[in-house]
Amino acid sequence: MANTLKINKIENFLYGKAPSVVRCGREVEIGAGQVIPEINFTLPMMTIDDKNWCEVIKQYEEIIDGVLKRAVRLEVPQLLVEFETLPEMTNRPQWGLEITRLLADKMDRCYRDYGLKSALRLTINDVREFNRPPLMRSGKYWGNLCGILEGSAEAGADLIAIESTGGKEIGDEALVNCDVGASIFALGVLGARDMEFLWNHITDYCNRTGVVPSGDSACGFANTAMVLAEQNMIPRVFAAIVRVISVPRSLVAIRQGAKGPTKDCAYEGPYLKAIAGVPISMEGKSAACAHLSPVGNVSQAVCDCWSNESTQNIRMLSANAPTVSMEQLAYDCRLMNVAASEGIESIIRLRDWLSESDSPLDPQAYVLKPEIVLEISERIIAQDNPYEQSLEAARSATEVLKRDSREGKVKIKENELKWLDMIEQQLETLPEDEEQLIEQMLQRPEFRGKFLPAEYGI
Amino acid sequence: MANTLKINKIENFLYGKAPSVVRCGREVEIGAGQVIPEINFTLPMMTIDDKNWCEVIKQYEEIIDGVLKRAVRLEVPQLLVEFETLPEMTNRPQWGLEITRLLADKMDRCYRDYGLKSALRLTINDVREFNRPPLMRSGKYWGNLCGILEGSAEAGADLIAIESTGGKEIGDEALVNCDVGASIFALGVLGARDMEFLWNHITDYCNRTGVVPSGDSACGFANTAMVLAEQNMIPRVFAAIVRVISVPRSLVAIRQGAKGPTKDCAYEGPYLKAIAGVPISMEGKSAACAHLSPVGNVSQAVCDCWSNESTQNIRMLSANAPTVSMEQLAYDCRLMNVAASEGIESIIRLRDWLSESDSPLDPQAYVLKPEIVLEISERIIAQDNPYEQSLEAARSATEVLKRDSREGKVKIKENELKWLDMIEQQLETLPEDEEQLIEQMLQRPEFRGKFLPAEYGI
Amino acid sequence: MADMKDLADAIIKGDMKTAVEVTKKALDEGVEPQKVLNDGLVAGMGVIGKRFKANEVYIPEVLIAARAMKSAMEVLEPKLTEAGVEPVGKALIGTVQGDLHDIGKNLVIMMLKGNGFEVVDAGVDVSPDAFVEKARSSGAKLIGLSALLTTTMPAMEKTIQALRNAGVEAKIMIGGAPITQAYSDKIQADGYAPDAASAVDLAMDLVVA
Amino acid sequence: MADMKDLADAIIKGDMKTAVEVTKKALDEGVEPQKVLNDGLVAGMGVIGKRFKANEVYIPEVLIAARAMKSAMEVLEPKLTEAGVEPVGKALIGTVQGDLHDIGKNLVIMMLKGNGFEVVDAGVDVSPDAFVEKARSSGAKLIGLSALLTTTMPAMEKTIQALRNAGVEAKIMIGGAPITQAYSDKIQADGYAPDAASAVDLAMDLVVA
Ligand code: B12
Ligand code: B12
Ligand code: SF4
Ligand code: SF4
Ligand SMILES: [Zn+2]
Ligand SMILES: [Zn+2]
Ligand SMILES: [Zn+2]
């Protein structure tokens, strides 16, 4: 990884524009100047089985018909559709691929009939942890994952993503205990190693087929932290720091060849954009249907795609929920794109309002503020490997939060300030050397049996 | 009504700021500089009856608890809560009042415990058309309506609104036939007369009790038109013109003493603000859960409250739908308020982006563009009575759309252009004198028996 | 000679006068009533219906055509009855108890009529008992229930139960903005349609089946 | 003399060493095991629980307290058994088939333990049959089902049916982000709780009732 940021000036850190543009699907250009809506959806309460399969298909048909119709009506210039498989559909790859095909066909027809430019992102759900402890590189679940990947180009996917969960065996424990060392181990050591293996495999397939390898999300770690913080289970400062720790792990995919747009739920996106220049998909207030969050606006500040994360196909008063989200995304994007059409100065203006409206109020929003992203990114890339980067990520996030809360730039709740000190102390005890951390973690009785070191090449 | 606009310069036509500020509830100030979220909600599928009443109460408790909790978490500076009664709750006033009380109590507690400033708007649903043809000024349903009104102050309502339906007996027919004369008759003659009677009654009560008379919406006319246009049932140009025709009718409430904020679903709000200086509540993309619309952003351009119109209490992946809306409104308002904190120039900037992002794409959006609102408002108030104003509203909207579509400022679909001509022709045949129109309409066989002239003082 | 194409065109244009004239002329010339109906009136409405589905024309135009058809039908109907030709089917449509929304329902009625159905409009706020009574008195083979409020949806279920308990055998279809296929299945209606155009297709299926 | 307040304080601080010491000392001095449990351990956890509900402390602090309690319980348990004191109740908690989400479930387990329940963790992706088997082998009086996916919610209903069909008489409570009281009623669970703290209240109600 180069030791300079791809975006190192705040005036170049803009929504809609990324140093490396992604072209895919039916005339879609991401990061080339316009923010593009990315629509996500999932099933309402129902069983996925042989008996119900027909019903499942009907749901997806209804969803995509509604979404495309609304996109055409609102003259959406370009559309990204994400289909995230549910476990049953990964475990029976032909199921996941059948829905991919269905969506691709409908999008094709809509392009021909109405000129709607669109691309389909297939996000494979990581089923490897159905084994506990998970087998990461072999066995039935790995086979299923490869099965759906191998069929994706033929089924009509334009982009591939995954939300891999390597290291989560430790990550969960780390979160509920606010154990920053274990979080770094989970993300920067286990996660990063698994990502290297996994994304090497994915980009290999993509190189053969022309499908775009897009990105991976640390959702199972950093969004879990965010959800836990929203429920007042863990301090917000800890969730903010975990978000930043997740950056080096998600970067691994890009080093292995992923090109973006990064995953919507990867709120670490701005860091990935600054460091690697890839376009990013983000979500915020638009995704309130899926996660409540303290980053509803700031998450939008430098996005290239704007997403709703996921919503069930249930009837609202107006229409089904995915159609409702489609409408909201379309208007959010219209606003950003109209400002962008006036030039960079206007982009910066809107970006800063988006950023300023959230960032002083919550540490999780603050670490997504473009200026802070650049500051911390600079420090992250000065380090050599994912472990050191993760450690530096944690240290710099903690430092920045302490510093800027003192200066009144970010509000941190009284009872959270002591956590910043406690985390700082924890960080001081961590070794500079990865091997030593691994050693320490392998010793810890509560982690024994939770993960298989060999599966991470340890 | 004065013959000058309260806002006659585009640089004074701003969101968050209205010439006449409304102060109400627990320290709420509307139109004084900040845009305030207005949250709305309704029941999921269920029966409202004696047996179920306990269940109904539980629903509203769950809704308001979720909403207030999220508002506190997101540090919403001020909150407007709207409770719109359902027919059963109007027809048994103690039911509607019981829920009003429940909401007011919870809001009180939240103000005391967390300092959340809030006000409660009670919107009474107009049940008079349970009689067909409706009795507007007497009978059981009028009695019920008065019953809930009379109890509203004691039950804790801070503001009163209604979405009255006088004239809708003709309005529905007018819409599906694109009959502009009948629309003017429904809104500018019947509607206006009923409003005068009704709002005289309401403000009388408000003067006695200190409850703020807020506003009335032409929802049953103009939003029905919008919904019909979204379903491709009627031309969008017709819906746009009906929206403008609805202005003089909604103004009647203000002439009778209503002070705003006008109703969220009254997209005619910007006209009311320009003409009468009252603060307005608006809804757009935030209300996609309730209505799909072509005015998602432009509707926000000069709002003082920002609403979600209504959403059922159903579970989304993150939380219940009203809580989801609360979050989205909070972020939209944050953005507007941060820009506003920089000064008027920034308000204008954001206002214009909001306006420009929609207005060239649809005639319904175009007639809400602030510049156009001022232009047409000027012409409306040059007329003397609601009928003449409505006629002028229709004429000027038609003219403006023709003119500006020719100039490429607003896109009008090929197959809608001829409708503009047809509407223009219809308008030419209408008499300048109200009495003559009444005469004509009373003659029309299809309207006979649909409404009772005496109920409108005809 | 009366040309069925002229009649269809008159319907399409909504030219009531010509429609009535051509119908009369055709009957005078001894054209079969069934042929006048199918090749003239229904054919014309069919064209309008297609244009409407393709978003080329709007409801007011469909209504004008429907009115032209109605006038022609007044001339044609006695002859059809004489010839023993039955209407496609008789339907009873109404909005359920507690609910006053009727624009959607009215459009469904209009579309059904345009496609040869005889329709009884039950109005709005129709109680289950009133539905039963009207079902009996009309002898409708198809009943349509409309509801726009989440709080009146349950009245659909009650109405269906009342109809079934009363031994009414007509097929029941439901619709309105908050209604879904899933809800229709749940309350055991015979069908659901999301809009007026598809309501016609559904009605055809239910009545023919 | 061993002070129950000191013991409670040790729990609150999560001071495992002191907690164990004071417990031992108290038992040596002949303090009733039940009193040590109630006035020391449970009282301490009660304070932490209250602080947690009031958003004064976070889960890690609750976990530390819970661990201190656990250590002290290891000393206390044999004495409680000797004295014939029963745990509040025995519960079996798991995530249903097809679902791997377990953070929420784990927090519920932790809270129940902190409130004197004995809990068997059934793990994740637990099939209805496996639930039945574990219900039998554990003899739990309370069963908790967790589901986070809309597509695994139906597995809750199946599990409840399987348990009832197998004659398991334990009370069944359910939870997880997509679950609602209405759903709980529909599938005839005995109760639903929206979070771990209220899960304890619910568990108490169900077990005492
Ligand atoms: C117009 C309207 C009104 C008008 C009604 C005028 C009239 N004569 O019908 C007025 C202003 C009177 C009104 C009043 C109320 N309304 Co209203 N109304 C609407 C609105 C804006 C549009 C409905 C409409 O006419 N659509 C156009 C027609 C063409 O579409 P449609 O009805 O869906 O019908 C189509 C299909 O559904 C189908 N279809 C319809 N019926 C049938 C039947 C069969 C058998 C089949 C097969 C198909 C079918 O075909 C039709 C044509 O394609 C909707 C918003 C919306 N998004 O739907 C709210 C809405 C339905 N109303 C709502 C509410 C709350 C009310 C009031 C209670 C408001 C109040 N508090 O005062 C009152 C209730 C009065 C009552 N007792 O019924 C809410 C419902 C919320 C809820 N809890 O369910 C809605 C959803 C608005 C909102 N977003 O909050 N309303
Ligand atoms: C963390 C998480 C994950 C982690 C899980 C880690 C783990 N070990 O549990 C990972 C990354 C692995 C994951 C995977 C997936 N997830 Co997930 N996940 C989440 C997330 C972000 C938070 C869940 C969580 O832990 N919350 C924190 C805990 C404390 O809260 P809780 O679970 O609600 O529990 C509380 C209460 O509900 C209650 N409770 C819980 N259980 C019980 C039981 C009883 C008896 C009682 C009384 C109470 C109770 O008490 C708890 C404490 O207060 C949610 C988003 C969300 N908004 O909930 C999505 C979410 C649940 N996941 C989702 C999805 C789609 C998935 C995947 C399918 C993604 C994919 N395509 O790969 C996979 C499925 C894997 C599988 N087979 O289960 C969707 C579900 C959509 C749907 N269709 O239903 C969600 C809603 C995200 C979204 N918005 O789209 N996920
Ligand atoms: S929380 Fe959302 S984005 Fe993250 S893994 Fe779950 S479904 Fe995917
Ligand atoms: S459409 Fe909405 S705002 Fe209008 S009357 Fe119905 S509920 Fe009220
Ligand atoms: Zn995601
Ligand atoms: Zn309204
Ligand atoms: Zn409203």
d(CA A370, CA A5): 13
Mean pLDDT of chain B: 97
Which of A45, A179, A312 is the closest to D154 by Cβ? A45
CA distance A86 to chain B (A): 15
pLDDT at D85: 83
The burial class, CB within 10 Å (0-12 / 13-18 / 19+), for C113 is buried
In whole angstroms, what is the distance from residue A96 CA to residue A100 CA?
6
Backbone torsions φ then ψ of D174, nearest 5 degrees: -130, 160
* A229 Cα to the center of ligand 3, angstroms: 16
DSSP helix/strand/coil, D39 = helix
Which chain A residues have a beta carbon less than 8 Å from that of C177? 317-318
Residues 6+ apart with CB under 8 A from A424: A398, A402
In this prediction, residues D137-153 reach a mean pLDDT of 96
Encoded tokens for B258: 């209503």
Reported as a single tens digit per residue, the pLDDT across B141-174 is 999 999 999 999 999 999 999 999 999 999 999 9
Identify the pLDDT of residue C182: 92
Residue B42 to residues A143, A168, B61, D47, Cα–Cα distance (Å): 47, 40, 12, 39
First to last CA, chain C: 38
Indicate which CATH number applies to the domain containing C140: 3.40.50.280
B223 lines ligand 4 (CB under 6 A): yes
Instruction: Tell me which chains share at least 3 CB pairs under 8 Å with chain A.
Output: B, C, D
Strand ranges of the sheet holding D142-146, from the earlier edge strand across to the other edge: D117-126, D89-96, D142-146, D171-175, D191-192
Supply the pLDDT for residue B334: 98
Asked if the model's pLDDT at residue B211 lies above 90, the reply is: yes
pLDDT of C208 reads 81
With contact defined as beta carbons under 8 Å apart, do B177 and B124 qualify? no
List residues bridging with B280 in a β-sheet: B262
Tell me, what's the pLDDT at D114? Answer: 86
Task: Give the DSSP H/E element, type plus range, for residue A83.
Answer: strand A78-84
Closest chain D residue to A132, measured at CA = D124
Q: D100–A130: do the CB atoms touch at under 8 Å?
A: yes
What is the mean pLDDT of the segment spanning B90-105?
98
Closest CA to A265 of A213, A228, A307, A301: A307
Look at A317 and C178 and tell me if their CB atoms are within 8 Å. yes
Cα angle, residue C202 at apex, residues C92 and A47 outer, rounded to 5°:
120
- The beta-carbon contacts of D76-79 under 8 Å, at least 24 apart in sequence, are D76/D23, D76/D27, D76/D33, D76/D36, D76/D37, D76/D41, D79/D27, D79/D33
C155, C187: one domain: yes
pLDDT tens digits along C43-97: 999 999 999 989 999 999 999 999 999 999 999 999 998 888 887 889 999 999 9
Q: What's the whole-number mean pLDDT along residues B356-377? A: 98
Q: What is the mean pLDDT of chain A?
A: 97
Do C60 and C122 have their domain in common?
no
Residue C93 and residue C134 in one domain: yes
* Residue pLDDT, tens place only, D9-39: 999 999 999 999 999 999 999 999 999 999 9
Which structural domain range is residue C59 located in? 4-82
Which of C53, C180, C181 to substitute to test the interface with A, most A CBs within 10 Å? Answer: C180
* Close Cβ partners of A223 (under 8 Å, ≥ 6 residues apart): A217, A265, A267, A291
Residue nearest to atom 89 of ligand 2 (CA): A290
Of the residues D51, D82, D113, which one is the last residue of a structural domain? D82
Do D47 and D22 have their domain in common? yes
Residue B317 tokens, joined:
């992946």
| pLDDT tens column, B420-454 | 999 999 999 999 999 999 999 999 999 999 999 99
Residue C209 binned pLDDT confidence (cut-offs 50, 70, 90): low
Question: Do residue C156 and residue C138 come from a single domain?
Answer: yes
Question: What gap in Å lies between CA C177 and CA C165, rounded to an integer?
Answer: 27
- C115 and C199 both lie in a single domain: yes
Q: Could you say which of C82, C113, C147 is where a domain stops? A: C82
Statement to judge: residues C75 and C94 lie in one domain: no
User: Which range is least confidently modeled, B82-86, C171-175, D193-197?
Assistant: D193-197
Whether residues D131 and D201 share a domain: the answer is: yes
CA gap D14, A194 in Å, rounded: 35
Give the total number of structural domains in chain C.
Answer: 2
Q: Which residues of C touch A317 (CB under 8 A)?
A: 150, 177-178
Partner A contacted by B84 (CB < 8 A): no
Task: Give the Å distance between the CA of D149 and the centre of ligand 2.
Answer: 7
Could you tell me if the CB of D41 is within 6 A of ligand 2? no
The CA-based angle C95-C99-C101, given to 5 degrees, is 70
pLDDT profile of chain A (458 residues), mean per 10: 86 98 98 98 96 97 98 98 97 98 98 98 96 95 97 98 96 96 98 98 98 97 97 97 98 98 98 98 98 97 98 96 98 98 98 98 98 98 97 98 98 95 97 96 95 96
In this prediction, residue B63 carries a pLDDT of 98
Q: Is C185 part of the contact surface with chain A (CB cutoff 8 Å)?
A: no
Mutate: best of B46, B315, B320, partner D, most D CBs <10 A: B315
On whether the CB atoms of residues C160 and C189 are closer than 8 A, the answer is yes
**Half-sphere exposure at residue B115, Cβ-oriented, CA atoms within 13 angstroms:** 5
Assess whether D102 and D68 both reside in one domain: no
Question: What is the distance between the alpha carbons of residues D186 and B26, in angstroms, rounded to a whole number?
Answer: 40
Cβ-Cβ contacts under 8 Å, A176 against chain D = 59-60, 63, 103, 106-107
Confirm whether pTM is higher than 0.80. yes
Query: Are both D75 and D100 inside the same structural domain?
Result: no
Average pLDDT over residues D111-140: 95
Residue pair D19/D68 in contact (Cβ under 8 Å)? The answer is: yes
Of the ranges B102-106, B414-418, D64-68, which is most confident?
Answer: B102-106
Say whether both C52 and C93 belong to one domain: no
C94 in the same domain as C140 = yes
Query: What's the CA gap between B409 and B399, in Å, rounded?
Result: 13
What confidence tens digit (pLDDT) does each residue in B260-314 have?
A: 999 999 999 999 999 999 999 999 999 999 999 999 999 999 999 999 999 999 9
Interval C140-167: pLDDT, tens: 999 999 999 999 999 999 999 999 999 9
Hey, which chains touch B, using 3+ CB pairs under 8 Å? Answer: A, C, D
Phi, psi of A37 (to 5 degrees): -70, 140
How many Cβ atoms are within 10 Å of B402's Cβ, its own excluded?
17
Contact C39, C47 (CB under 8 A): no
Select from D82, D114, D144 the last residue of a domain: D82
Cis peptide leading into residue A133 (ω within 30°)? yes
Say if residues B173 and B419 touch (Cβ distance below 8 Å).
no
pLDDT at B2 over 70: no
Phi, psi of C126 (to 5 degrees): -95, 120
For position C38, which CATH number holds? 1.10.1240.10
Strand, helix or coil for residue A192: helix
User: Which residue from A43, A132, A233 is facing D58, i.e. has the nearest CB?
Assistant: A233
